[in-house]
Amino acid sequence: MPANLLDEPEIGEESKKQYLWTLNFGPQHPATHTTLRLVLDLDGERIVRATPYIGYLHSGFEKLGEHLNFNQYVTIVDRKNYISPPMNEVAWHNAVEKLLGIELTRRCQYIRVIIGELSRISDHLLCAGAAALDLGAFTAFLFAFNQRELIYDVYEEMSGYRFHPGYTRVGGVMQDFNDRVIERVRAVLRSLPKAIADMEKLLFRNRIFLDRMRGVGVLSKADAINFSCTGPLARASGVTYDLRKDEPYLAYRDFDFSVPYATEGDCYARFQIRMEEIVQSMGIVKQAIENLPGGPVNVPIAEKFPMPDKGTIYNSMEGLIQHFELIMPNRGYETPKEEIYAAIEGPSGELGYYLVTDGTQIAWRTRTRPPSFIHFQVFPMMIKDHLISDIVAVLGSLNIIAAELDR
Amino acid sequence: MTQAATDPHAATFSTLAGLLGEGVFSTSTFKDNVRLHVSPGRLIEVLTVLKQRCGFEFLSELGGVDYLEYPGRTRSRFEVHYVLLNLDTTERLIVKVGVDDPNPTLPSAYPLWRGADWMEREIFDMYGIEFTGHPDLRRILMPEEFTAFPLRKDYPLRGRGERHNFPKLSRGES
């Protein structure tokens, strides 16, 4: 590969400028999938410098978090990584419950593991499918999207909403899993292996796909650590950290699963990691749904935190009082004047919240640690000296969700 | 928290105190979060020792908080937190540093972690805290013409009408 023109000290700035040409990529481009913009300095077709400009989807989610209470903010966190909304909800209420010191019931922990892992599967399916789509393999994308439809059916049955379920609550969930939800989860587990096998058949021996993924966008282990990368991106570069194993939360200690990792650090390694994680997540969901503990799903209403279900509200005095206390703005429970950082393993990496409370039910500060934001800053380094056509391969393997990137 | 989990932190604290002297930092704990409060002047020294001597080689998160009119608050207005992670022992440590109006300024952690790049730019964008030594401190999420710092507590939720007053470029002028 020829030397990068910008690194040559004997060539003057002015002649560099004359030689290079600038291409504006985005903000609307089919391969960015959402709204992000790159300004590329090109030497022929080779990228000598890429400068991302972000913020097109900035909607002030963190500011909104300072004006909504813990249960209301669920609807907003859903819209951050909208490819896997339940995982955001689990992350948000994980932070709130850690701060308030609420110990969830076993059933609720299992249910949150199930919805979290289903959303991880859904996220990885879209990412792997879209990566293939951008490189011209349309059929694999359709197989992946078909399965996401079944996962949306689970969301719809459990909460009534397909896209943004808003399912978790402080101290529990909106409503318990019923038999129909469990049947839908089983339906996902039944049809997923065939879809994975189809995708693997279509892609793992697809010459065009392999040539465009292998050795492209390499991230070394040292760089992955230096750039704060987590999740599949870091695991494809040999950083084996996974919060589910290393800092277990919810009920992850109960399940038998492994953390796949690779050392190549290229786009293909990241794709393989995602495909393998789908299989591992399926295993977790299977174990959780078969051993789903009985008993109540929410913490007892005597603890003052959970929103009682409608049956309790209309049929018992305690439920009615509890509902009133939580809904009226001048009532409710007291929170400590404290702050906490709590993170979970999201589909694209460590998804954390830095939560500050001032004694009321409305957070003082809801800082999100957005994996997309942190991963996108690696992009200019990864794409340097590659060709324009490699942008779609690298972007597809990073799984940048612009709503989470800009918040 | 169990005894085994607190011990590594004790070792970290004694390493820090040994290298930098007593009184550089104070600590506080809430649940499993261990926090280290330092002054802006000693921040980079503390972070360097933590990274190079104590194994906290991973900057997991960097963010800011505005404590304007926070109930019972007597310390500085802004605080920036650095969540560090030790990938081998899975310990986490939160370094907190306070800065005050006017002209809040902190040294940049960019030389230690490239990952601090955009996170510091975001804090600059949202709170107006300047990071000296950052190579490219520009607004990141808000447009360049924007003059206010939207996550400050004295900035209203609905904005100050900036949305309606953006400079417009007509087709004739372009």
Alpha-carbon gap, residue A20 to A9, rounded angstroms: 16
Of A241, A338, A356, the CB nearest to B65: A356
Q: Looking at the predicted structure, is the pLDDT value of residue A281 above 90?
A: yes
Alpha-carbon gap, residue B25 to B82, rounded angstroms: 14
Q: Looking at the predicted structure, is the pLDDT value of residue A256 above 50?
A: yes
Q: Is the omega angle on the peptide bond into residue A27 within 30 degrees of 0, that is, cis?
A: yes
Rounded mean pLDDT of A231-252?
A: 89
**Per-residue pLDDT reduced to its tens digit, A374-394:** 999 999 999 888 888 888 888
Amino acid at A229: C
Instruction: Indicate yes or no: CB of A354 within 8 angstroms of CB of B61.
Output: yes
Q: Looking at the predicted structure, is the pLDDT value of residue B3 above 50?
A: no
List the single range of A10-19, A250-259, A260-269, A322-331 with lowest mean pLDDT: A10-19
Cross-strand pairs, B37: B26, B96
Q: Which two tokens stand for residue B104?
A: 């809040």
Domain boundaries, chain A: 5-53, 61-406
Considering only alpha carbons, which residue of chain A is nearest residue B51? A226
Helices A179-203 and A267-290 pack at an angle, to 10 degrees, of 150
Q: What angle is formed at CA A77 by the lines to CA A155 and CA A289, rounded to 5 degrees?
A: 35
**Per-residue pLDDT reduced to its tens digit, B69-81:** 888 888 888 999 9
Q: Which two tokens stand for residue A190?
A: 């039944």
By C-alpha distance, which of A210, A239, A268 is closest to B86?
Answer: A239
Q: Supply the pLDDT for residue A185.
A: 92
Coil, helix or strand for A171?
coil
Distance of residue A95 Cα from the nearest chain B Cα, in angstroms: 11
Amino acid at A113: V
Of B81, B115, B150, the CB nearest to A354: B81
Confidence of residue B1 (pLDDT cuts 50, 70, 90): very low
Confidence of residue B146 (pLDDT cuts 50, 70, 90): confident
Task: Tell whether B28 is covered by a domain.
Answer: yes
Rounded mean pLDDT of A225-248?
A: 90
Q: Supply the pLDDT for residue A3.
A: 61
In a mutagenesis test of the B interface, which of A340, A367, A381, A407 is the best target, namely the one with the most B β-carbons within 10 Å? A367
Distance of residue B129 Cα from the nearest chain A Cα, in angstroms: 16
Indicate the helix (H) or strand (E) that contains B132: strand B130-132
Amino acid at B131: F
Q: Looking at the predicted structure, is the pLDDT value of residue A194 above 80?
A: yes
Q: Looking at the predicted structure, is the pLDDT value of residue B4 above 70?
A: no
Percentage, residues of chain A above pLDDT 70: 95
Task: Tell whether B87 is covered by a domain.
Answer: yes
Instruction: Indicate yes or no: CB of B71 within 8 angstroms of CB of A67.
Output: no
The whole-chain average pLDDT of chain B stands at: 85
DSSP state of A283: H
Q: Enumerate long-range contacts of A14-23, CB under 8 Å, 24 or more apart.
A: A19/A43, A20/A48, A23/A388
Rounded mean pLDDT of A360-379?
A: 90
Q: Please identify which residue in the block is written with the tokens 């896209």.
A: A163
Q: Looking at the predicted structure, is the pLDDT value of residue A119 above 90?
A: yes
Count the domains in chain B.
1
Alpha-carbon gap, residue B16 to A288, rounded angstroms: 44
CATH number at residue B134: 3.30.460.80
Cross-strand pairs, A365: A356
In which domain, by residue range, is B47 found?
3-164
Instruction: Indicate yes or no: CB of A354 within 8 angstroms of CB of B143.
Output: no
Confidence of residue A2 (pLDDT cuts 50, 70, 90): low
**Per-residue pLDDT reduced to its tens digit, B8-58:** 678 888 888 888 777 778 888 888 888 888 988 888 988 898 888 888 889
The CATH topology of domain A61-406 is: Cytochrome-c3 Hydrogenase; chain B (1.10.645)
Phi and psi, residue B34, nearest 5°: -105, 125
Percentage, residues of chain A above pLDDT 90: 29
Q: What is the CA radius of gyration of chain A?
A: 23
Edge to edge, what strands does the sheet with A21-25 contain?
A21-25, A37-43, A46-53
B98 neighbors B75 (Cβ within 8 angstroms) = yes
A259 neighbors A240 (Cβ within 8 angstroms) = yes
Alpha-carbon gap, residue B122 to B142, rounded angstroms: 9
Q: Supply the pLDDT for residue B123.
A: 92
In a mutagenesis test of the A interface, which of B114, B126, B144, B166 is the best target, namely the one with the most A β-carbons within 10 Å? B114
Q: Which two tokens stand for residue A74?
A: 């669920």
Q: Looking at the predicted structure, is the pLDDT value of residue A117 above 90?
A: yes
Alpha-carbon gap, residue A199 to A202, rounded angstroms: 5
Q: Supply the pLDDT for residue B80.
A: 92
The whole-chain average pLDDT of chain A stands at: 87
Phi and psi, residue A351, nearest 5°: -110, 105
Q: Looking at the predicted structure, is the pLDDT value of residue A152 above 80?
A: yes
Which residues, other chains included, contact B165 with Cβ-Cβ below 8 Å and sequence gap of 6+? Answer: none
DSSP state of A214: T
Q: Supply the pLDDT for residue B52.
A: 87
Residue A43's CB is within 10 A of a number of other CB atoms, namely 17
Which residues, other chains included, contact A378 with Cβ-Cβ below 8 Å and sequence gap of 6+? Answer: A219, A223, A227, A229, A233, A398
Rounded mean pLDDT of A357-362?
A: 86
**Does the beta carbon of B150 lie under 8 angstroms from any beta carbon of chain A?**
yes
What phi-psi label fits residue B128: left (phi over 0), alpha (psi between -120 and 50 degrees) or beta? left
Buried b (16+ CB within 10 A) or exposed e, A160-170: ebeebbbbbbb
A51 neighbors A39 (Cβ within 8 angstroms) = yes
**Does the beta carbon of A190 lie under 8 angstroms from any beta carbon of chain B?**
no
Q: Is residue A72 classed exposed, middle or buried when 0-12, 13-18 and 19+ CB atoms within 10 A define those classes?
A: middle
Q: Supply the pLDDT for residue B2.
A: 45
Which residues, other chains included, contact B149 with Cβ-Cβ below 8 Å and sequence gap of 6+? Answer: B125, B126, B127, B128, B155
Confidence of residue B7 (pLDDT cuts 50, 70, 90): low
Confidence of residue A49 (pLDDT cuts 50, 70, 90): confident
Q: Looking at the predicted structure, is the pLDDT value of residue A307 above 80?
A: no
Confidence of residue A395 (pLDDT cuts 50, 70, 90): confident
Q: How many CB pairs lie under 8 A apart between chains A and B?
A: 105
